[in-house]
Amino acid sequence: MITVHHLEYSRSQRVLWLLEELGLSYEVKVYKRNPKTKMAPPEMKAIHPLGKSPIITDDSLVIAESGAIIEYLLDRYDTQNTLRPAPGAMERLPYNYWLHYAEGSLMQPLVVALIFSEVQKAKLPFFVKPIVNGIVGKVNAAYIGPQVKLHYGFMEQELQNKPWFAGPDFTAADIQMSYPVEAGLTRGVNPSRYPKVQDFVNRIHQRPAWKKAEARVGDFGIPS
């Protein structure tokens, strides 16, 4: 039996969604974030040494990392390649690209943005606050802002002539892309500048499997 160790408001929502798309039976164990640190609780380290979401167990196997989990589930349970192009197909390369781009490229500036946002919101002595704000402002101007603009512009262009990231068909790459795409929109990216990206988000929210997965654990949400 597959068990998803689901941390609230985390990347593991993609695993739940994938399992619903595949029509597989699974169990869910929900973990709450620490209200102060927003981090995963220590109980998750009993499942995997890093204690980070997502984690699944499948009988005696323990698998972490979104991409690794997706590939494992597809290799074992999607033998007809309903959610990815067949090996050797021309579409397999763009599928692999977007599957890895999500965490390898897109998520990086978004994580940096989140970290600096938390730094800016931290309680600091009044005489330190202007210095911190100045540093954050420079990092935003020099790195975070330009990188986010670059990536969202790239995605907007890629979606101009195709409905899904890897091509005409919905794939697991779209599931992998969903979290970082929404993270940026949640954290200040103006959706009106990227209508194709926003349309992608609107359409995935209408998929029956998305709705089933969200109903299973409550509002997915993304930390802002």
Class of domain 92-207: mainly alpha
How far is CA 42 from each of CA 32, 191, 222, rounded to the nearest angstrom? 10, 36, 21
Give pLDDT tens digits for 76-93. 999 999 999 999 999 999
pTM for the complete prediction? Answer: 0.92
Name the more confident of 99 and 38: 99
Task: Check whether 163 has a pLDDT greater than 80.
Answer: yes
Mean pLDDT of 154-163: 97
Report the distance separating Cα 157 and Cα 196, nearest Å.
8
Please give the CATH superfamily to which domain 2-84+211-217 belongs: Glutaredoxin (3.40.30.10)
Locate the domains of the chain by residue range.
2-84+211-217, 92-207
Report H helices in 57-192.
Answer: 66-77, 92-101, 107-121, 129-139, 145-158, 172-186
Query: Cα-flanking dihedrals φ and ψ of residue 168, to 5°?
Result: -75, -20
pLDDT digits (tens, 9 = 90+) for 119-133: 677 776 776 677 767
Q: Of 167, 113, 118, 164, nearest to 143 (Cα)?
A: 113
Cα distance between residue 216 and residue 27, in whole Å = 10
Instruction: Say if residues 12 and 53 touch (Cβ distance below 8 Å).
Output: yes
